[in-house]
Amino acid sequence: MTERGDLIVLRPEGLYCPAGDFHIDPWRPVARAVLTHAHADHARLGHAAYLATAISQGVLRARLGDDITLQGVDYGEAVTLNGVRVSLHPAGHVLGSAQVRLEHGGCVWVVSGDYFASGVEGDANPTCAPFEPLRCHCFITESTFGLPIYRWRAQASVQREINAWWQANADAGRASLLMGYAFGKSQRLLAGLDPSIGPIAAHGAVENVNVAYRAAGIALAPTQRVDQLSRAELQRALVLAPPSVQNSAWARRLGPDASDAFASGWMRLRGARRRRGVDRGFVLSDHADWPGLQRTIRATGAERVIVTHGYEAVMVRWLQQQGLQAEAFATEYGDDAIEADAGAAATTEGAPS
């Protein structure tokens, strides 16, 4: 793609704003990085200076180190970078997640980052600021779940299923191991758990992030460490942990009869559930589903849409059928990587959830 005066172009380092001389979520070291959120595929070490939401600073410093040069701004607060007006707006994905709005020369572009905009009216992530549609001339959208098969049910309904699974396990005297990404997914799950069923324990990787969420004022149910629970308590407990613990020595501490489950948008695929090999798969994602992507793109009023980070070809084809100018930015998180993550049920931290 030629630069032709575009506000954002694709460079080897990632998305780049030539007019402002900064990158957005770059994957190689740069002088100035504007970050949409703190997941590992968007926030990386090695940049000289960072700009992100103020509320995400705790998680970013915990993940990247206290010594990074980080400027935090409130949602909607504008800063000017070499003549480009930049502001960050809620994306509804995880704590502090943001869309990046750029305004220059009378033109407005928005880079979505990862966002949760459900096809279910009124559905929102309770652990972060809800997604805010932004009007723009060009919208750069993620498409992690950009296939018609991905349609989420209301998350309250899924949380009720999780609590019912936990209750049945507790009544049978077996621990419940609920796996989800340590940052974002685990806190969203925790916000929907019913603590009257039994004690809730958290793996250290999850608890480290819980601390940052609580410090930011997010209400989460109390959690304990597994080794703080008596054997009787453990038999009624729900344990939150990252996917990497499955079949590990750590997980075996929960007892031979423990039931395990995995919460992810990938659980919408029967093959992914089978390959994961868990007792239950709960379809709960922090990304927009197919109807959510469509609704969001329409709400922006953008005449031009650039698709990235997912099933780009399918989304581009649909957009062109709607009469929009559409193209894709091919990144390391494009179609091939998404297919690989789906096949492996997205086991790594920072992968699509």
Amino acid letter, 131: F
pLDDT of residue 276: 84
80 and 17 in a common domain: yes
pLDDT of residue 122: 80
Is pLDDT above 50 for 335? no
* Beta-ladder partners of 10: 15
146 and 30 in a common domain: yes
Give the CATH number of the domain where residue 118 resides. 3.60.15.10
105 and 58 in a common domain: yes
* Predicted model pTM: 0.92
Share of the chain above pLDDT 70, in %: 93
Sequence-ordered list of residues with C-beta below 8 angstroms from that of 300, at least 6 positions apart, any chain: 110, 133, 134, 135, 136, 139
Q: Say if strands 22-24 and 49-53 run parallel, antiparallel, or are unpaired.
A: unpaired
Q: State the average pLDDT for the chain.
A: 92
Q: How far is it, in rounded angstroms, from Cα 118 to Cα 283?
A: 13
Q: What is the pLDDT of residues 149-198, one digit of tens each?
A: 999 999 999 999 999 999 999 999 999 999 999 999 999 999 999 999 99
Structural domain includes residue 4: no
Is pLDDT above 70 for 338? no
Is pLDDT above 90 for 334? no
Is pLDDT above 90 for 351? no
Domain ranges, residue 304: 9-150+287-343
Q: How far is it, in rounded angstroms, from Cα 284 to Cα 268?
A: 9
Is pLDDT above 60 for 110? yes
Q: Which of 260, 282, 304 is the last residue of a domain?
A: 282
Classify 273 in phi/psi space as left (phi over 0), alpha (psi -120 to 50) or beta: alpha
304 and 244 in a common domain: no
Structural domain includes residue 30: yes
pLDDT of residue 352: 44
Torsion of CA 10, 313, 116, 100, to 10 degrees: 20
Sequence-ordered list of residues with C-beta below 8 angstroms from that of 202, at least 6 positions apart, any chain: 186, 190, 210, 223, 224, 225, 239, 240, 241
Structural domain includes residue 352: no
pLDDT of residue 342: 40
110 and 77 in a common domain: yes
Structural domain includes residue 349: no
- Mean pLDDT value across residues 43-51: 97
Please, how many CA atoms are within 13 Å of residue 278, restricted to the half-sphere of its CB?
27
Using DSSP, state whether 104 is helix, strand or coil: strand
Structural domain includes residue 77: yes
292 and 144 in a common domain: yes
